[in-house]
Structure 1
Amino acid sequence: MTANDASHQIVSLPAGKMPELRVIPMPADANMYGDVFGGWIMAQVDLAGSIPALRRARGRVATIAVNSFVFKNPVFVGDLLNFYAEVIRVGRTSITVEVEVYAQRMTDAEQTVKVTEATLTYVATDENRQPRMVPALHDTPAA
């Protein structure tokens, strides 16, 4: 198996995890050959990553950095994309999230391949869009 073969390896969806987002790209999201635009995928990754960040921050967050982003395999119109996101670090005002994206190729022989992995950092913000402290895990929201 070559290094290139490894990136096209058929895998399973992560066991015991639920995706934060599932979406099927449509023709408007792709070029004339049916390959989905990288920018469209990046936007979906940002949305998926923001969900656990919002939960952890208990409120508004803003993306402040895309720390890494790797396209491992192409995405095609009609693929069912599964976005898994997990908080991997919490700072004073920031939350770093890792996102993995798997495509289920909706063909006669359904195949699943890992298509993207990324790490993004969000900052918790207040009603004035200024950085605020991320609540401690044991804090309970005010009633």
Structure 2
Amino acid sequence: MSENPEIEGELALQTLAMPKDTNANGDIFGGWLVSQMDLAAGIISKQVTGGRSATVAIENVSFLSPVKVGATVSCYCRVVKKGRTSVHIAVDVWTWQRVNQSDGIKVADGLFVFVAIDGSGKPRPLPEA
């Protein structure tokens, strides 16, 4: 990880880390963070696919720093690859403890793969660009 990474991508989801989402150590549970990442990638997938899509793979997730209760959690997404029916979306998660947002840190990243699906849940081609 770079010493001073830059925010990349589009802000897709922003929420607040709450006490109910902590693990036994008092930090935010990793599963909750992955859920937020999947939701954010799903928002972008819907825009790209023009409709329904489903998560078919999470190729990797790296947890870089603990998330504290009360932090603003922001998921930034960027499309890194499009296939015939699929889209690969990189998700970077940043947190801020203060309102002025001068203390942002990258806490996680991952790659999520979605497939566009029709009304029957079968893969369908992505719309023409």
TM-score (norm 2): 0.90
RMSD of equivalent CA atoms: 2.3
* 87 and 109 in structure 1: CA distance in 2 versus 1, 3 angstrom threshold: closer
Whether 2:48 is the aligned partner of 1:22: answer: no
* 127 and 13 in structure 1: CA distance in 2 versus 1, 3 angstrom threshold: same
Q: Deviations for 1:49-104, whole angstroms, at most 9, x for unmatched residues?
A: 11111101000010000011100000011000111001111101100000001010
The one of 22, 33, 57 aligned to 1:65: 57
- The unaligned stretches of length 5 or more in structure 2 are none
Q: Which residue of 2 aligns with 1:51?
A: 43
Report if aligned partners of 2:10, 2:78 keep a CA contact under 8 Å in 1.
no
Q: Pairwise mapping of residues 1-143 of structure 1 onto structure 2 (< 5 A)?
A: 14=7, 18-106=10-98, 111-137=103-129
The 2-side partners of 1:14 and 1:33 are apart by 28
Higher alpha-carbon Rg: 1
**SS where residue 104 of structure 2 aligns?**
strand
Deviation at 1:33?
3.9
Following TM superposition, the consecutive aligned residue runs of length 4 or more in structure 1 with deviations greater than 4 angstroms are 107-110
The 2-side partners of 1:100 and 1:31 are apart by 21
The number of aligned residues is 129
TM-score (norm 1): 0.81
Higher strand share: 2
Report if aligned partners of 1:101, 1:117 keep a CA contact under 8 Å in 2.
yes
